[in-house]
Amino acid sequence: MARLIKSVRGMRDLLPPETETWNSVESAVRDLFRLYGFQEIRTPVIEDLQLFQRSVGEETDIVFKEMFAWQDRGRAESEKGQWLALRPENTAGVVRAYIEHKLWERPGLQRFYYIGPQFRRERPQKGRYRQFYQIGAEVIGPPSAGSESPAVDAEVLEMLAALLDRLSIRGWTLQINSVGCADDRVRFNEALRAALKDVVHKMCVDCQRRAQTNPLRVFDCKVPEDQPIIEKLPKMTDYLDDKCKAHFAEVRKLLTAMEVHFVLNDRLVRGLDYYTRTAFEFTHGALGAQNAILGGGRYDGLSEALGGPAAPGIGFAIGEDRLIMTLQEAATSSVSAFDVYIAPLGPGMNVEAARLARELRRRSVTISLGDETFRLKKSLETASKIGARYALIVGENEIKSGQFALKNLGTGEQVSVPRENIAAKVKA
């Protein structure tokens, strides 16, 4: 027997009826984003590896450990090609596109959203996959368009709270922090290096490396034994300059005014280097260990780091897989897929049934087609099994008279309906 081929580790199939939930979440998201002026952007899943090295950061777990990257073939057999990567996140791609297509020439702030797969070679577990989906959005533009305003941060956070409410997700927590600007970061990193000097030998090997290369990344450490040490390290918020302090205070003031509840978390730095000032995460108790539904923040220097003009921005990414997990219990699994099962009775009736199906589908009736080789009993059983609401019998007599037997599979009642009234009767 041929060897069974299975899906690759960390990759999974999304099957119906769960995909119905995915679709309804995505359409709720699109509707809400439209109210805030966001438009869809679609960037490629494959990008130049350097894009992520220069934005997310070489020292982050995402780039250092988790990227699917490879060197492409050159044009000639002997030639080595470009280093490529499957995107581990989508902000870098959006900012690359913003620069490449000179989107700053468009008036005002640009508001983009995306929905699509991302790839990280993480250890798979519940809520953590190697291909997962993110729903994200970015607000970006020249400083003259107001892109640095704390009002933008507050608007984005309010939109997220509204989205979770609209999806009836209760029990979420919004955690916020400010990770400051580049200068603050230099001073904070110095303070961290000094504080780590005497303790780092007790920490994990990753932290020992991070302490040298990029001390801020120590806060990404998940090793339990390191946590008491991390607890005692200096706080980012003590190293903010006056402008960053005022920015953060204004964001908090606006959130409070809009009654968007939040908690301050001065250890929240998020695992990506490009963040500046506001950083945030929404967590949910029902998710267990992987409890972050979404995360995001500001990235005021990212465009310049990628060779673009000054274009401060803020964005977020919702883990769609995890968002769906929080909805799973509430989801109704028994959506009936079909209004009508058409049962062709006898030779030649497949043609008539197909015609009738075409007619009814054009009038928005969902149809499952039977087969003329089935006896009536088998047809009715099939119709019930697939959860159709009605069975419609198509035999020679029906075609001649133009009157069709329509059986309500819920009540068992059967009526005779003229061809032109079937759609109305089913929809009634």
Helical axes 18-35 vs 320-327, angle rounded to 10°? 110
Binding flags for ligand AMP, 31-70, as an x/- string (CB under 6 A)? ----------------------------------------
Restricting to residues 273-312, name those near ligand AMP by CB under 6 A: 292-295
Given the complex with ligand AMP, which of 66 and 250 has the nearer CB atom?
Answer: 66
Considering the complex, state which of residue 128 and residue 361 has its C-beta at the smaller distance from ligand AMP: 128
Distance between CA atoms of residues 90 and 93, nearest Å: 5
Question: Taking CB positions, which residue lies at the least distance from ligand AMP?
Answer: 319
Rule CB under 6 A: is residue 359 a binding residue for ligand AMP?
A: no
How many C-alpha atoms does 23 have within 13 Å on its Cβ side? 7
User: Which range binds ligand AMP by CB under 6 A, 45-53, 70-78, 315-323, 377-385?
Assistant: 315-323
β-strands 39-40, 110-119 pairing = parallel
**Minimum distance between the CB of residue 316 and ligand AMP, rounded to whole angstroms?**
8
| Cβ neighbours of residue 383 closer than 8 Å, sequence gap 6 or more | 341, 343, 368, 370, 390, 391, 409
Euclidean distance between CA atoms 238 and 335, whole angstroms:
53
Q: Strand 131-140 and strand 313-319: pairing?
A: antiparallel
Nearer to ligand AMP, 47 or 89 (CB): 89
370 binds ligand AMP (CB under 6 A): no
Structure tokens at 68: 């699917």
Residues paired with 316 in a beta bridge: 137, 296
Please state the length of the chain. 428
Only one residue has tokens 């030998």, namely 201
Which of 43, 60, 110, 134: binder of ligand AMP (CB under 6 A)? 134
Identity of the amino acid at 331: A
Query: At residue 104, what is the residue type?
Result: W
Q: Judged by CB under 6 A, does residue 322 bind ligand AMP?
A: yes
Residue 219: CB minimum distance to ligand AMP, A = 14
Q: Find the largest Cα–Cα distance for the chain.
A: 93
Q: What is the DSSP letter of 342?
A: E
Is 87 a binding residue for ligand AMP by CB under 6 A? The answer is: no
Residue number with CB closer to ligand AMP (121 or 389)? 121
Pairing of strands 172-178, 414-418: unpaired
Q: Kindly tell me which of 104 and 172 has the beta carbon lying closer to ligand AMP.
A: 172
Q: Of these, 129, 188, 219, 275, which contacts ligand AMP (CB under 6 A)?
A: 129
Nearer of residues 163 and 340 to ligand AMP, judged by Cβ: 163
Q: Which is nearer to ligand AMP, 117 or 234 (CB)?
A: 117
Residues lying near ligand AMP in the complex (CB under 6 A) are found at 89, 120, 122, 127-129, 132, 134, 271, 292-295, 317, 319, 321-322
